[in-house]
Each structure stands twice: as structure tokens, then as C-alpha cells.
Structure 1
Amino acid sequence: MEIQRKLRSVMFVGTSSDVGKSVITAGFCRIFKQDGYAPAPFKAQNMSLNSYATPEGLEIGRAQAVQAEAAGVPCHTDMNPVLLKPTNDQTAQVILNGKSIGNQSAKEYFLSGDRAELFEEVKRAYQRLASRYSPIVMEGAGSISELNLKQRDITNMRMAIAAGAATYLITDIDKGGVFASLYGTMALLELEEKACIKGIIINKFRGDMELFQEGKKIIEELCGVPVIGIVPYFKDIFIEEEDAVSLKQKRNQPVAGKVNVAVVLLSRMSNFTDFDCLDKDSRVNLYYTHTREGVSLADIVILPGSKNTIEDLVELKNNGLAEVIIQAYQNGKTVIGICGGYQMMGQFIKDPLQLESAAGEIDGLGILPVETVLLNEKTTRQCTFTYRDFPETCTGYEIHMGETFVHGADKPVAFMEEQHNDGCFLSEKCWGSYLHGILDNQVVINDLLAPYTALQAESTDYRQFRSEQYDKLAALLRENLDIEQVYQHIKN
């Protein structure tokens, strides 16, 4: 379809975190693509342990990669120039333009003297993106009314003003307190910021929307801007979540008649979207657990990625889960590890630069014949591979700071087209791999489940499935939001 004329940027901000900004941003990326434009997502600063490798081998927030997929364009670091990946409660690794520039405490990051330069970096990324795509579909972070952070903000209303973006405020009515959160948010904005807000979106509504029409009028009177629509709470459209907050609402126990898969819920768990495809398999009951019982009752135990492998491993040892995981392996259950979980399954992890811990070295779970050395240089790349001896071509991506060495016979899990192979295959019921997204491939899922069920799932094109979900999301937004009003604000 012929690309139409250039549009003003549009931005979606929130009254708080987890109100649905990422999903609605993805939905509008899809709408603009369907309507013949060339949209691209942008989030100036993201704080998330879910990240993704761009085609150039650089790192951005996973949410922006999802939004780029919805827009039908390759993801790029200009879509998320600053990514903060928490390593503990007070410190985060800072990713700038796709590359780590080291760890900083919250105080160091937010109070450092280079905030002005960081904002300039963010604006340059936006300008590069805007020269290639239109419209830019921007996403804010958290609440836009955090007064103590506003002067140091590089991602919310300062960015909206800098981009001249038509901005829409999203609130989650399912949380309650919708009137106070909207009115309070608007009341705390400065005049220049208020001028950016063109409308309000009420998200995650349950029940009969006709019963909220009076509430809608009250909100419009209080806030002085129109409510452009009310989006219903949905469970039949599957869009990757950005935050692990959602894991708390997921199933957390075994189910009879299914292959029960327990993902160990680590404190610093990263890339939990690795298990979305497995979760949708009709043969599987996947749940997240941090209890001994939850692990012991599973058929398959998965150790996921971690932003601080050593500290999460220490926690597993202290709470007794390490012992239960080892026992599961000894009892013949399936135990696999992805990225940090792969490192944990080895003999030991060395940290000579003390990147994750002052201890410098820790014994692993001793399940796999591997040892890991944590390095300052991060590996980030997309990968094409074959799994074990199966002929199907698979895809995944690597994001890790360690190098893992296999003792004895080297049996890779994945055979790359490039010069290196990946992982350690001990048996059909025990292996580890650095590859995020390895479980997005049907051949891997079928092999993982083979010891537990004779049922065979139909081959699923997960990429096509995701594309269908973006279309369903776009249709839902078109049905419930005044899209024409949005176009009126962004057409120059």
C-alpha cells in the first residue's frame, strides 16, 4: 500500500505503571500499519528485565521489539535508546543505544550531572527514527505525575513536548480509584504539559459500558479533555506482557491430565516471555512457583534467565529450592535451564570482576558438566539454528554476560549456522542453553514434552500467531476508541 503523508507523533502515557500502555501502543502501531502509514514505536527510557537483541546485535526492551513487530518493521535501538535492567533493589545496568555503559545505583543515575546529555541522546534517537518512519508511536513510563522525578525525567511529558506529540492518558479502571487517579494526574501537570493531552483512554473495563456513561461525563468535566474510548478487559488476545507483575495472576499449581511445567520464579527473573509459546500449548499446564511443593509436583522444571545469576542462585540455596531442583533431576524428571538458569545448572560460576557479587565464585547445582565465567562484555545477537539432530530451522537470540565451558564430550543443544554452537545436552530430560526464544520453536516443545505425552500438537507458526493477535488487538481498539479523533490530532 502506498505510504500516505507524514503524521505528527502520538504518545500514550499513564496514571501509573501496568495500566496497559505497552499493549495499546502496539495496537496503534498495527492500526497505522493497516491504514497504509509507516509507523515505528519509541520509548525513550525503559526499565525492564525483558530485553531483545536487534538484527545488529544490540539490546533494547522486549516491549519495543513487540511493538516494532506489530508495526511490521525491524526493531532498532533508536526505538528504545535507554534501557535500565535492575540487578538488585538499588542498582541497574544502563544500556545506552544498545550497549551497556555499566551499572549505576538509582542515586547515581537520577542525580548524575549528565542527565541533560542523556536527554539529548534520547532526542537524537527520536529524530533519527522520525526521519525514517511516520507516525512515531511513543510510550511513556510509569506515572506522568511523579513530581520528585519530573525535573530529571527523559521519557514522559518532557519527551512529549520535545516531540510535539498528541498525547493520550491511559488509566486502568480494574485497579479502582479511576476518578482520583485521572483528576490527580491532570491537576499535577503544568500548563505546557496539559496542552499535550488530547484525550483519555480508560482501559481494562469489566461489565456493561453503558453503565459507565455518567462516569465518563464526570471524568471529562473534571479533566477538561474527552474520553476517547473505553477498552474492555480481554483474555482472548495474546500480546506479550512487559512487566513480571502479570506473573502473579497466572496459574501457580499443577493440574491433573496435563504435562505440568514449573518455571522457577526467581527474584531477578529476566525474559519470562521465553515461555509464552509453551504456555499456549494445549498439552501443558505451565505455572510459576517459588515453593518447594510447586517444584516437586512438576513433570518439567525450568530454570529461567536472571539479571543476577549468582544472587538468585544464593537465594535458591537459602530457601531450599536448589535441593528440590536437584532431587527432581535425580528422580528422573526433566530439568532444563535457559541463559542464567543454564549457568546455575553447572558446577560453578566464577565472577572474577565481581560483576554480580563480591563472593567472586559460587558452586552451581552440579547437574550439568559445565562451568561459567562472567565477563564484562555482553553477547547480544539473533540466531538461526537447528535443535539437536532435527532438520527444522529454528530462531532465537542471545543476551548474556557469561562464557560457559563444557567438560567432557561436547553435546550442543543448538547447532548454529555461524561458527559457534550453543548449550549442553546431557539427556532428553536434562539440558541447558543460552538461547532465549528456544521454546518458541515447535520442534523443541514437542521434544521436551515427548516423554510425557503421546499427543502431538499441530505445527504452529508462532510468528503468524502473533501477527493474528496484533490484528485482533487493532480491531478491538477500532471498535472501542475514537480512532478518527486521534487522526484529527496527528494529521498536519
Structure 2
Amino acid sequence: MSKHTLCPIMFAGTGSDVGKSVVAAAFCRIFLQDGYRPAPFKAQNMALNSYATPDGLEIGRAQAVQAEAAGIPCSTDMNPILLKPTSDRVCQVVLNGKVAGNKSAADYFNGTDRDRLRKEVHAAFDRLRAEFNPIVIEGAGSIAEVNLRSRDLVNMPMAQYAKAAVILVADIDRGGVIASVYGTMMLLSEEERKLVKGIIINKFRGDISLFTDGVKIIEELCRVPVLGVIPYFKDIHIEAEDSVMLDLKSRSAIDGKVNVVVVLLRHMSNFTDFDVLERDERVHLFYSNNVEEIAKADIIIIPGTKSTLADLYELRKNGVASAIIRAYRDGKTVVGICGGYQMLGMEVCDPHHVEGKIDALPGLGLLPVRTTMQGEKVTKQVTFTFGGGKAECKGYEIHMGETEITASNASTLNILADGSTDGVQVDNRCFGTYIHGILDNAVVIDHLLTPYLSQLETRTFDYNEFKEEQYNKLAAHIRQHVSMEKVYEILDVRYEI
């Protein structure tokens, strides 16, 4: 079946966390199902969750998820600018997948290089548009931040450049949805309002028929059609973009399952590493920095972090470091991933002050390794074998620092496809690795859970199969509640299924 070229579609928001990322992922899967070749795009993303592309560059995790939903490998063109907060006022700027330096918010938004960044963003979009159809664009935050209009790279100026059909997404669960939609529309310029072709009301709870009058009011006020009202869902699981979602996670252990605690760090990054454990019915996953709750866990995982030394200092200060050491001595399993791996070693040094003012701190001393922070970031996808096995595993690395083994009798954890090694283990209850996504591999999960499964009889969890099922469920959910016929009319293409 031949397919028409669709104009780009942008999902913009009345605010942050209204569901733009998930809606964009849904449409990536829908367009794929309908025979198109979609690709996601977000000009500028701010997140600590990131991902390594196949060519060893770094992008926001949300665009990697959307690319997965679209059935294509991710690339930096999908997210040319990534801002990774290192403090409340400073971000690491990643441009086209490579670190371009650290900047304060004032320097970044008021700097003289906005025109250069805009050209980079436009060039990335043009490369995508030449290869894919349609481009599914995600906005950032609210499109009504008129004080930022002249410096904006990601919302309406991007829509104008792309000649995109803008769909405004609003979160009704927060309340005041009519005011937020109407207020957003009224704060746009006349030229910008012309680009808004539809409205989606997201996260509705209860009987949708009760909002029929609300839909009519919005359409009359804004003179833009409401394309659908999407019910809130809890039974579809898509990897979250922002750490705000951690607020919804469990904070304590329970009986009857293998309890796995992820140590809650102030600068925690890449918490999507643990989505597979959260979905595994054998496991109860929770997040905590409470020493009493940590003591109840069977398995303790120290996750990645944007500031290893600052978080290591905090763990020592609040007693969590001692609790982890004590738990290991009591027979519990302790695992470190990326920054967590560095913390489990003998010492973490930062002689060049890559992270901050701290020169060095002793680690937890559970692994015979020593880490020195380096200025150049490692970003790459990897294929490896785990723990001396033969099964092919996959993951990715994003880290700064070199870790050396300090004991001759230490065992290497992973053998990479190029013959190099990663990580170290002292026994079956303690290991560390730089590889994010290591837990997405069933052989690793089985190794981790085996000591605790004598009373459980469930099959090995296939995470890739699970994710595909979730993308398809999400697409079906959106199709049920959004008029795809109207969407295709807006994109100036015959409705072909």
C-alpha cells in the first residue's frame, strides 16, 4: 500500500508532565502499525535519564523509548540538545550526543550561541525529515512560557520551522483543564495559534461522558477541535522520562516476594535500569534511603548518579553506607551500576575536579576497585557475556571515570564483544558494572534472583516481549479514545489502514 507524506506532528503541552512523551510514543507505534516510517524528535530535552545510541552518543531516554516504539534505532538527530542537571542551577550540555560543557541556566538561556544551537536543531530535524515519515515532535513544558519565546528552541518556533501540525495536550487530572487550555491558547500569538490543529485531554478519571459539555466549551472557546479524551491508565507500562515519576514508586518492603531496594540518591540517573524488576512478578521493587527499609531487602542496588562523590558523601553522612555494608555481611546481595559501581570500590578520586570540589572519598570497600574521574565521557552500546556464561547480552555505557581493579584475585564480571572487560565480582552476592540496561537481560536477572527463588515457581521474565506488548496496548488505548481519522485529516493524508 502506498503511503502519502504526512506533515510533521508536534505534541505540545499546557505544562510539564501532562503526558506528552507517552502520547508521542503511542503515535510512533500507531504510525508504524499503519505502514508509515515514523521517527521521534525533541529539539531540547532536560533529563537525567539518558541513553547511548548505536554509534556511542548520548540522547534523552524518552526519545530512545519513542524510537523503540517506532521500530527504529535511535540517533542524536532525535534529540540534538540534552541538558543534564548537575545542581539546581547548573546543567551539563550535551550537543549532538557529545558533552559541550557545563553551563548555568542563565548562561545557557541568555547566551550568545542561541543562533548556533538553533541551526544545529534545525539541521538535525532536516536530516530526520529526509529519511522518515512522519516526524513525531515532542514539545517541552508549557508552550505558553511567553517570557522565553525569543530564546525557545523546542516549542512553537520549532513547530513553525517544521511546519508541524501542533496538538495541544492537557492534563485533566490536575484540575482546571478548561482554564489551562484556554489560557495557553490565548497566550500564543495569532501566528502560533494557527498552528494548533487539535487538542487532546489526557489522564481522565471516571465516566468520560460527563465531560461532553467540557469538550464543547473548549472547542467553542478555542475554535480548535478536541480530538479525544484519554482515560488515565495504570495497566500500561512505558518507561518514564523524569524522576518526578519516582514519587509514585513504592518506598517499603513487603512479604511474599523477593524484595529489591534501589538506594534513593539525590542525583540519581537512569532509573529506567530497574523497570524490568518492577514488572517481574517474582519481585517487589522499592526505592529508599531509609536504613530500616534497606535492612529488610534481599537485594540492594546502588544506581547510577550524575554526581558520584556528592552522593557517596551523602550516603556516608546519613548512615546508608554503613547499612549497605552491614547488609552484605548479613548475607544480602549488593549490586552497583555505573556510579553505584564506583561507590562500592575502595576509593573514588576526582583530582581534576570534574564533578566538584571534593578531591577524593573512600568508597564502601566491598569491591577491590579504585575510580579516578576523567573529563571525557564514555558513551556506547555494548554486547557482552555475563558472569562467565555464553548467552549474548546487550546494554549501554554512559559514564565519566576510569575504574581499575586493585586485587589480583578479583573476578571480571563481563566480557565485551571486542574482548575488553567490564565490572568485577567478589562472589555471587556482590558485583559492580558500568553497563546500564544489564538487568534487561534474563540471564542476569536469573543470576540475581536464584538464591531467593526456592519458594517461587514462575517463568523467566522476557522484558523485550513485555515492552512490545506495552507499546501495542498503548497504541490500542489511544486509538480507542482519539479520532485517528481526524488526525490523518489534519496531517493532510487519506485515512488508510
Name the TM tier (shorter chain): over 0.9
Say whether residues 1:469 and 2:467 are aligned partners.
Answer: no
Quote the residue 1:366 is aligned against: 365
**After superposition, what is the alpha-carbon deviation per residue over 1:212-239, rounded to whole angstroms, capped at 9, x for unaligned?**
1111111222222111101111111111
Do residues 381 (structure 1) and 380 (structure 2) align?
yes
Please tell me whether the aligned partners of residues 446 and 460 of structure 2 are also in contact (alpha carbons under 8 angstroms).
Answer: no
2:309/2:358 contact within 8 Å kept: no
Does the aligned pair in 1 maintain the 2:47–2:82 contact within 8 Å?
Answer: yes
Question: Is contact 1:13-1:143 (8 Å) kept?
Answer: yes
Match of 2:64, SS state, is helix
Please give the secondary structure, in 1, of the residue aligned with 2:287: strand
Is the Cα contact below 8 Å between 2:280 and 2:461 reproduced in 1?
A: no
TM-superposed CA distance for 1:37, in Å, is 0.9
Counterpart in the other structure of 1:77:
76
Deviation (angstroms), 1:125 = 0.4
How far the C-alpha of 1:302 sits from its partner, in A, is: 0.6
Where do 5+ consecutive residues of structure 1 fail to align? Answer: none
Provide the secondary structure at the position in 1 that maps to 2:396: strand
Q: Which residue of 1 aligns with 2:203?
A: 204
Q: CA deviation at 1:50?
A: 0.7
The answer (yes or no) to whether the contact 1:396–1:438 under 8 Å persists in 2 is: yes
Question: What letter corresponds to residue 48 of structure 1 in structure 2?
Answer: A
SS of equivalent residue, structure 1 residue 478:
helix
Q: Indicate conservation of the 8 Å contact 1:201/1:229, yes or no.
A: yes
Equivalent-residue separation in structure 2 for 1:208 and 1:230 (angstroms) = 11
Query: Which residue matches 1:130?
Result: 129
Instruction: Give the 3-state SS of the residue equivalent to 1:49 in structure 2.
Output: coil
Deviates more, 1:218-227 or 1:62-71: 218-227
Residues 380-417 of structure 1, C-alpha deviations (whole Å, 9 max, x = no match): 11111111022221111101011111111241211111
CA RMSD between the two structures: 1.2
For the 8 Å contact 1:258–1:284, the answer to whether it is kept is yes
Q: Which residue of 1 aligns with 2:214?
A: 215
Counterpart in the other structure of 2:328: 329
- The yes-or-no answer on 1:432 pairing with 2:429 is no
Task: Tell whether the 8 Å contact from 1:3 to 1:38 is kept in structure 2 after alignment.
Answer: no
Shift of 1:456: 5.0
Which residue identity is paired with 2:285?
Answer: L
- Three-state SS of the structure 2 residue aligned to 1:412 is strand
Aligned residue for 2:352?
353
| Greater Cα shift, 406-415 or 36-45 | 406-415
Runs of 4+ more than 3 Å apart: none
Residue identity opposite 2:276 in structure 1: C
Q: 3-state DSSP class of the match of 2:323? A: helix
Q: Distance in 2 between the 1:105 and 1:378 partners?
A: 20
Distance in structure 2 (CA, Å) of the matches to 1:119 and 1:445: 43
TM-superposed CA distance for 1:178, in Å, is 1.1
Give the AA of the match of 2:159. Answer: A
Partner in structure 2 of residue 412 of structure 1? 412
Task: Check conservation: 2:368, 2:410, Cα contact below 8 A.
Answer: no
Deviation at 1:3, TM superposition (A): 5.4
The answer for the alignment partner of 2:318 in structure 1 is: 319
Moved more, 388-397 or 298-307: 388-397
How many angstroms does 1:104 deviate by? 0.9
Residue aligning to 1:344: 343
The match for 2:283 is: 284
1:60-106: CA deviation from partner (whole Å, max 9, x where unpaired): 11110111111111111100000011111111111101111111111
**Partner Cα separation in structure 2 for residue 80 and residue 252 of structure 1:** 32
Cα distance in 2, alignment partners of residues 385 and 483 from structure 1 = 42
SS of corresponding position for 1:155? coil
Give the secondary structure class of the aligned counterpart of 1:148: helix
Asked whether the 8 Å contact 1:40–1:68 carries over to 2, the reply is: yes
1:391 corresponding residue in structure 2: 390
Give, in angstroms, the shift of residue 5 of structure 1: 2.3
Match of 1:228 in 2: 227
CA distance in 1, matches of 2:352, 2:151: 31
Paired residue type of 2:154: T
Which residue in 2 is equivalent to 1:112?
111
State how far apart, in whole Å, the 1-side matches of 2:463 and 2:308 are: 29
Which amino acid is 1:484 matched to?
E
| Paired amino acid for 2:459 | E
1:280, 1:164 → 2: CA distance? 39
The equivalent of 2:447 in structure 1 is 447
Show the counterpart of 1:88.
87
Q: Are 1:481 and 2:443 an aligned pair?
A: no
Instruction: Note the C-alpha offset of 1:284.
Output: 0.7
Q: Equivalent residues in 2 for 1:156-171 (5 A)?
A: 156-171=155-170
> Which shows bigger deviation, 94-103 or 410-419?
410-419
Taking structure 1 as the reference length, the TM-score comes to 0.98
- Equivalent residues of 1:446, 1:456 under 8 A apart: no
User: How far apart, in 2, do the equivalents of 1:185 and 1:290 lie?
Assistant: 39
CA distance in 1, matches of 2:484, 2:4: 17
* C-alpha contact 1:374 1:403 (8 A) present in aligned 2: yes
Asked whether the equivalents of residues 91 and 104 of structure 1 are also in contact (C-alpha less than 8 Å), the reply is yes
What is residue 100 of structure 1 aligned with on the other side? Answer: 99
TM-score norm. by structure 2 comes to: 0.97
Distance 2:333 2:230 in 1: 41
Query: For residue 187 of structure 1, what is the aligned residue in structure 2?
Result: 186
Match of 1:259 in 2: 258
CA distance in 2, matches of 1:311, 1:221: 53
Q: Is the CA contact 1:269–1:306 (under 8 Å) kept in the aligned structure 2?
A: yes
The answer to whether the Cα contact below 8 Å between 1:260 and 1:286 also exists between their aligned partners in 2 is yes
Moved more, 218-227 or 92-101: 218-227
Does the Cα contact within 8 Å between 2:388 and 2:413 map onto a contact in 1? no
Aligned residue identity for 2:322: E
Aligned residues of 1:3 and 1:37 also touching (Cα < 8 A): no
Q: Which amino acid is 1:110 matched to? A: F
Query: Which letter maps to 1:321?
Result: V
In the alignment, the residues of structure 1 paired with residue 329 and residue 175 of structure 2 have an alpha-carbon distance, to the nearest angstrom, of 47
Task: Report the Cα distance in structure 2 between the residues aligned to 1:296 and 1:149, rounded to whole angstroms.
Answer: 47
Residues 13 and 141 of structure 2 are in contact (CA less than 8 Å); yes or no, is this contact kept in structure 1? yes
Mean alpha-carbon deviation: is it higher for 388-397 or for 114-123? 388-397
Any residues of structure 2 matched to 1:240-259 within 5 Å, and which? Answer: 240-259=239-258
Separation (CA, whole Å) in 2 of partners of 1:84 and 1:251: 28
Separation in structure 1 between the aligned mates of residue 193 and residue 313 of structure 2, nearest angstrom: 48
